[in-house]
Structure 1
Amino acid sequence: MSAPTILVLRALGLGDLLTGVPALRGLRRGHPGAKLVLAAPAPLASWLQGLGIVDEVLATRGLAPLSWPGDAPDVAVNLHGSGPQSHAVLRDVEPGRLLAFAEPHARPEEGRQAPPWPADVHEVERWCSLVRRDGGPCDAEDLRLPTAGPRRSHVVLHPGAASGARRWPVARWRAVAASLSSAGHRVVVTGTSGESGLCSTVAAAQPQVIDACGRLELPELSQLVATAALVVSGDTGVAHLATAHGTPSVVLFGPTPPALWGPAIDHERHIVIWHPSNGDPRGDPHGTDLDLRLARVQVDEVVDAASLLLSRPRAQPA
Structure 2
Amino acid sequence: MTLTEKTARSIERVLVIFPGALGDLMCLMPALAAIAQRHPGASIELMARFELARLAAGRTIVARAHSIDAREVGALFDDDSSHNARPFFADFDRIYSFFASDDARFRARLAAATDAVVSFHPFRPGGDGHVSAGYLRTVDADASQVVTRLEPTADDLAAASRVLAEAKCDAAGLVVIFPGSGSPAKNWPAHKFAELAAMLAKGSGILRSADSALNDKEDGQKDKEYSCVVALGPAEAAIEPVFREAGVPVLKGLDLPTVAAVARLASAFVGNDSGVAHLAAAVGTPGVAIFGPTDPARWRPLGPGGGAQITILRRVPIDSIEPREVAGALSKFVERLQR
TM-score bucket of the superposed structures, by smaller chain: 0.7 to 0.9
Q: Which runs of 5+ in 1 are unaligned?
A: 104-116, 276-291
SS at match of 1:222: helix
Partner of 1:204: 245
Cα deviation 1:174-231 (Å, max 9, x = unaligned): 101212323343211112133222133223241xx211022x2111111110110110
What is the letter of the counterpart of residue 186 of structure 1? Answer: S
User: Following TM superposition, by how much is the alpha carbon of 1:145 offset from its aligned partner in structure 2, in angstroms?
Assistant: 2.4
Larger radius of gyration: 2
What is the letter of the counterpart of residue 98 of structure 1? Answer: V
Alignment of 1:140 onto 2:154: no
User: Following TM superposition, by how much is the alpha carbon of 1:101 offset from its aligned partner in structure 2, in angstroms?
Assistant: 4.1
What is the letter of the counterpart of residue 139 of structure 1? Answer: Q
Cα deviation 1:104-145 (Å, max 9, x = unaligned): xxxxxxxxxxxxx54222111111222335xx998223x122
Q: Which moved more, 1:153-162 or 1:172-181?
A: 172-181
Q: Which runs of 5+ in 2 are unaligned?
A: 1-8, 76-84, 162-170, 203-207, 209-224
Report how many aligned residue pairs link the two structures: 277
Distance in structure 1 (CA, Å) of the matches to 2:198 and 2:236? 19
Distance in structure 2 (CA, Å) of the matches to 1:57 and 1:138? 27
Distance in structure 1 (CA, Å) of the matches to 2:68 and 2:175? 33
Distance in structure 2 (CA, Å) of the matches to 1:236 and 1:120? 21
Superposed CA RMSD in Å reads 3.1
Seen in structure 2, the aligned counterparts of structure 1 residues 253 and 102 have a Cα distance that, compared at 3 Å, is closer
Distance in structure 1 (CA, Å) of the matches to 2:199 and 2:48? 39
Partner of 2:230: 189
Tell me if structure 2 keeps the 8 A contact 1:12–1:61. no
Partner of 1:271: 311
The match for 2:252 among 213, 217, 223 is 213
Tell me if structure 2 keeps the 8 A contact 1:225–1:245. yes
Distance in structure 2 (CA, Å) of the matches to 1:314 and 1:16? 32
Partner of 1:16: 24
Seen in structure 2, the aligned counterparts of structure 1 residues 119 and 223 have a Cα distance that, compared at 3 Å, is same
The match for 1:164 among 174, 184, 192 is 184
TM-score of the superposition, structure 2-length normalised?
Answer: 0.71
Alignment of 1:251 onto 2:289: yes
Q: How does 1:259-298 map to 2 (within 5 A)?
A: 259-265=297-303, 266=305, 267-275=307-315, 292-298=316-322
User: Following TM superposition, by how much is the alpha carbon of 1:268 offset from its aligned partner in structure 2, in angstroms?
Assistant: 4.2
Distance in structure 2 (CA, Å) of the matches to 1:271 and 1:70? 44
Partner of 2:215: none
Distance in structure 2 (CA, Å) of the matches to 1:121 and 1:140? 11
Distance in structure 1 (CA, Å) of the matches to 2:89 and 2:73? 16
Q: Identity of counterpart residues, as a percentage?
A: 28
SS at match of 1:185: strand
Q: How does 1:150-161 map to 2 (within 5 A)?
A: 152-161=172-181
Seen in structure 2, the aligned counterparts of structure 1 residues 314 and 78 have a Cα distance that, compared at 3 Å, is farther
Alignment of 1:70 onto 2:88: yes
Q: Which has the higher helix share?
A: 2
Seen in structure 2, the aligned counterparts of structure 1 residues 305 and 129 have a Cα distance that, compared at 3 Å, is same
